[in-house]
Amino acid sequence: MKSLAELAAIRDKMKGKVGIRADHDDDTRIVVGMATCGIAAGARPVLNAFVELAAKHTEKHVSVTQTGCIGICQYEPVVEVMEPGKDKVTYVKMTAEKAAEVFEKHICGGKVVTEYTIGTAHK
């Protein structure tokens, strides 16, 4: 059974890390659309898959955030990946499975998963 003692252990573990990197400007940002359109299309498991992967790969310095509707509701769930110094990549019609693939190939491997991008979906 989960306990507050376990949460205290997470706190103590994190405390050691906070001091090392105060500045998050070089983080990779993953932004998931979380308006009604996103949620109805299944954005919640996509977001939480990314949170889980970010927790597993702390060395990648990934921050996962949420945004509202960006106006392309027919392509939801929409995910934007922003790496410092690089062009933004927009992934569309995402699922938790595709999120795992994007994390592995793009975030860890440095290679954009072109088949899930909006450019490919448009064709």
Partner 1 sequence: MKQLSENILDIAENSVKARASLIEIILEENPLLNTLSIEIRDNGCGMDNETLERVTNPFYTTRTTRKVGLGIPFFKMGAEMTGGTFHIESKVGQGTVIGTMYHTDHVDFIPLGDIASTLMTLIGGAPEIDFVYKHTRGEKEVLLDTRQLRETLGDISLDTPEVLIWIRDYINEMYDAFNN
- Contact between 39 and partner 1 by CB under 8 A: the answer reads yes
In three-state secondary structure terms, 12 is helix
Q: 71 or 111, CB closer to partner 1?
A: 71
**Could you give the C-alpha distances from 77 to 25, 92, 112, in angstroms and in order?**
26, 6, 18
- Contact between 22 and partner 1 by CB under 8 A: the answer reads no
- Contact between 10 and partner 1 by CB under 8 A: the answer reads yes
- Contact between 18 and partner 1 by CB under 8 A: the answer reads yes
Burial class (CB in 10 A: 0-12, 13-18, 19+), 31: buried
The pair phi, psi for residue 90, each rounded to 5°, is -110, 115
- Contact between 115 and partner 1 by CB under 8 A: the answer reads no
* Binding interface with partner 1 (CB under 8 A): 1-2, 4, 6-8, 10-11, 13-15, 18, 34-37, 39-40, 44-45, 47-48, 51-52, 54-55, 58, 64-66, 68-71, 73
